[in-house]
Structure 1
Amino acid sequence: MAQRDGLSAFEEARPMLLGLAYRILGSRAEAEDAVQDTCMKWLSADRSAIENPASWLTTLCTRRCIDLLRSARRTRVEYVGAWLPEPIQMSVEHEPGERAALAASLQTAFLLVLERLTPKERAAYLLHEIFDVPYPEVATALDIQETAARKLVSRARANIDQSKVRHVTPLDRQERLLAAFQAAVATGGTEPLMAALSSDVELCADGGGKVPAALRVLRGKAEVLGFIDRVLLGYWRTCAWEVTDINGGRGVILRKDGEIAACMSFAYDEHGAATNLYIVRNPDKLARLGEPV
């Protein structure tokens, strides 16, 4: 009975823990490992002595994620080509308010800004700003004083605010870009697509050294459109397109002979122009795309 009650309490907390872990780590596989480790320690703990199970689980999961992130960052230094977060496919309700803000915190551009923070800054910001964890509990989770927790969040907030990645682009703008992209692939005409891109647009492709992909970030309309015309149009024209939600925004999954060959998502400026094209081709990161989150 106690084991069953313990599992029930953990399952109630699992969605929040998995959401936190994914945002800290940028990897669904690593996030699930962190949550599973948390579960095992929870079930073996003396739960009668735990006054606040949710806080206890959040603390344990956060610390495990920080350990994993430090290890992962050493690996990412040696990564072949550009590194992008593992994409997740999930349905998002595009509306103002809390759910829209939560969706924005899944966007690839936001996760990449988090990569510039220290592990503790990243965790502190996510706990307080995204999951509304009070400062005293943030301090407990990170094993620091509350004043230090406030400083971590303040530094992280300044960095993220400067990057202007926490905004939600209207759905019609996102779908207009996708339509222009599909039209360019189908017909070779890039004029509508060109109009939807910002002047300083960037294209980043993650092949992980396992499949062909651009090894550097492509910058500016001329370079990005040239790559699309020379490389993508011929290959993607034979792919099946599945328009879906990728990391909190409209994106596309491309299938070749029934297998996922790539996925693409976007970032936008405050005016709705596309500033970034993110293409994931690393098969390890695509293996579980489409599975329930």
Structure 2
Amino acid sequence: MDERDFLTERFLAERFEEHRAHLKAVAYRMLGSLTEADDAVQEVWLRLARSDSGGIGNLGGWLTTVVGRICLDMLRSRTQRGETSLEARLPDPVVSGQAADPEHEALVADSVGLALLVVLESLTPPERLAFVLHDMFGMPFDEIGPIIDRTPVAARKLASRARRRVQGAAPEPDRDPVAQRRVVDAFLTAARDGDFDALVSVLHPDVVLRADGGKALPGGMKVLRGREAVAGQAATFRRMATLSVSRPALVNGTAGLVNTVDGDVFSVMSFTVTGDRITAIEILSDPERLAALDLTGLADTP
């Protein structure tokens, strides 16, 4: 490689890095997996490096299109290989302290909580791509259509169908972080006391609890619906709260808890708070996946 080629590649790498956080945010929403999102972004770079970059007018648009196609192929590949759908497990949480770094902020912007990602897992790959690229990133349908081999009108219909499913199944969380934390603290107090009535008072009537213990709990993700059923786990919540140290954290940008036992992470809890009531609780206690989480941002948490 001569000096001109070296400088060209370095310039291209610098421009790519300017878009990396955006590309990972797109891939995370599409795949629900941080590892797979990193793989998708790396594949985008490889394709860019092999392309005639001089002919790319809008690099950001080109990169977003490419990452969309890669993620679409990855989602389709899961089905073709007969893999267990990510619907059967929780998406990877993004855990940070009260001051999230820029990459974490990009990953969880627009209230992309775990409850919403769970619903996205239920969409078909084309529906998910059309919804994510248009509703979350503002890409026009005339650019989305070619990615999924559909007309812009068909892409619009896919996004509309996905939107109806999302709005009906994933309540939008309250925006006030102080209000969120107040409700989560009330939940934690009730859990420590094993207080059924207090738990009921902070839970929405249609609250959904999802618990993913990985291989340690055969049968995949456990789901409970309704506040009586969730509050009925008061004894379990009390045991969890009394045996572990609960540390406040942002989990996908909303109030959550990181629970540790003897310094080791035991579980990560995510809460969706809507109208001062908890509408969704996600609990990840899979040891393998917890060990892979980046928890360095918790140093910012008091």
**Is TM-score (shorter-chain normalized) higher than 0.5?**
yes
Q: Which runs of 5+ in 1 are unaligned?
A: none
TM-score by length of 2: 0.84
Cα RMSD of the aligned pairs, angstroms, is 2.7
Counterpart Cα distance in 1 of 2:248 and 2:218:
23
User: Residue deviations 1:215-236, cap 9 Å, x none?
Assistant: 531233332222231x232233
SS of the equivalent of 2:123 reads coil
Structure 1's 109 and 15: CA in aligned 2 closer, same or farther, altered over 3 A? same
- Distance in 2 between residues matched to 1:182 and 1:212, nearest whole Å: 27
CA distances 1:2-39 after superposition (whole Å, capped 9, x unpaired): 11011111111111110010011111111111111111
Q: Which residue of 2 aligns with 1:227?
A: 233
Alignment CA distance shift 1:24-1:190 (3 Å): same
Alignment of 1:49-128 (within 5 A): 49-72=55-78, 74-77=82-85, 82-90=88-96, 103-128=109-134
Distance 1:195 1:116 in 2: 30
Deviation at 1:112, TM superposition (A): 1.6
| 1:168 correspondence with 2:155 | no
Alignment partners' CA distance in 2, 1:56 and 1:214:
38
Contact 1:204 1:278 in 2 (8 A): yes
Identity %: 35
1:181 aligns with 2:187: yes
Distance 1:19 1:258, change over 3 A: same
Q: Which residue of structure 2 lines up, in the alignment, with residue 154 of structure 1? A: 160
Amino acid at match of 2:160: S
Aligned position for 2:252 = 247
Per-residue CA distance 1:135-179 (angstroms, 9 max, x = gap) = 222224334322222222222222223335345343233212221
SS at match of 2:279: strand
Q: Structure 1 residues 110, 133: closer, same or farther in 2, change over 3 A?
A: same
In structure 1, how many angstroms separate the alpha carbons of the residues matched to 2:260 and 2:30? 29
Q: How many residues align?
A: 283
Which of 258, 266, 286 is equivalent to 1:261?
266
Letter in structure 2 aligned against 1:235: M
Query: Over residues 240-282 of structure 1, what are the superposed CA-to-partner deviations in whole Å (9 max), with x where a residue is unaligned?
Result: 211011012100111112111100012244x332122110011
Segment of structure 1 superposing worse, 251-260 or 166-175: 166-175
Unpaired runs of 5+ residues, structure 2, are 1-6, 298-302
In 1, Cα distance between equivalents of 2:98 and 2:123? 26
Counterpart amino acid of residue 150 in structure 1: R
> What TM-score do you get using the length of structure 1 for normalisation?
0.86
Note the alpha carbon deviations across 1:110-132, whole angstroms, 9 max, x for none: 11221221111111111111111
1:11 is the counterpart of 2:7 = no
Residues 16-66 of structure 1: per-residue CA shift (max 9 Å, x gap): 110010011111111111111111111122111222211211111111111
Distance 1:151 1:215 in 2: 31
| Equivalent residue, structure 2, for 1:36 | 42
For residues 164 and 205 of structure 1, what CA distance do their matches in structure 2 show? 17
For the 8 Å contact 2:224–2:230, the answer to whether it is kept is yes
Q: Is the 8 A contact 1:127 1:133 kept in 2?
A: yes
SS of corresponding position for 2:17:
helix
Does the 8 A contact of 1:197 with 1:221 survive in 2? yes
Deviation, 1:105, is 4.0
Is contact 2:207-2:225 (8 Å) kept?
yes
Question: Residue type of the partner of 2:289?
Answer: K
- The residue that corresponds to 2:3 in the other structure is none
Shift of 1:202: 2.4
Change (3 A) 1:57 1:143: farther
* Cα shift at 1:212: 7.9
1:131 and 1:92 map into 2 onto residues whose CA distance is 25
Deviation at 1:238, TM superposition (A): 2.3
Mapped contact 2:113–2:252 kept (Cα < 8 A): yes
